[in-house]
Amino acid sequence: MKVKSFLGILLGLAMVLGTSSLGIGAEVLFKDYDVVVVQNLQVPSGSPAPESSGLQMAEKAVYQISRYNEKSKPFEMIVKEGSKGKEIPPGKKVLLIKGEVKEYTRESVGRRVGRSFIPGGEFTGTAAFNAHYQFIDKASGKVIYETDLRTGSTGSNDSVEYAMDRNGEALAKLIIKYKGK
């Protein structure tokens, strides 16, 4: 009887401790920041990516972060670095986003034909985009978080531009998740 009581208490305690971690949300890394500033991504020399892809990705990131920011307004401003007419008010804490293009894979008819022989393969795209992002506290220059985001295109939207749109959306989702609102 004592063994059954002990096991019952132990099981109850394990359930309480095991489910208590479910109530804890994601880490809130960006909760104190009011403004997001996105820099043009760096394009390494010798990369298949055109020089303009860094500027293009920064604009896509600003658009997607602004789009996700509309619902609950966790940030007061989202701007691309060097934008004219966009002054950051003094006293605001600024999150700076830097990045570097790691992969820029154009769509390929040959890969598309090859994937068509795989069941369900016709729904996958052949283009991809990968970037390494750093989130920096602008005042201190300290890197808060770093991550790689790789996105691909889909079958009907098989282009690098679409993969970059999806990369900007993934970046926006990550920022809003770590903002905590």
Q: What pLDDT, on a 0 to 100 scale, did the predictor assign at position 161?
A: 92
Per-residue pLDDT of 68-80, as tens digits, reads: 999 888 999 999 9
Beta carbons of 57 and 131 less than 8 angstroms apart: yes
Q: What does pLDDT average to in each consecutive run of 10 residues of the chain (181 residues)?
A: 69 60 62 93 92 94 94 90 84 95 81 63 74 95 96 81 94 92 60
SS3 of residue 117 by DSSP: coil
Where on the phi/psi map is residue 38: left (φ > 0), alpha (ψ -120 to 50), or beta?
beta
Q: What pLDDT, on a 0 to 100 scale, did the predictor assign at position 21?
A: 47
Q: What pLDDT, on a 0 to 100 scale, did the predictor assign at position 23?
A: 44
**Distance from C-alpha of 153 to C-alpha of 175, rounded to nearest angstrom:** 22
**Distance from C-alpha of 153 to C-alpha of 162, rounded to nearest angstrom:** 6
Q: How far is CA 50 from the centre of its chain?
A: 22
Q: What pLDDT, on a 0 to 100 scale, did the predictor assign at position 143?
A: 95
Per-residue pLDDT of 138-147, as tens digits, reads: 999 999 999 9
pTM > 0.85: no
Q: What pLDDT, on a 0 to 100 scale, did the predictor assign at position 59?
A: 95
Q: For domain 28-179, give the fold.
A: Rossmann fold (3.40.50)
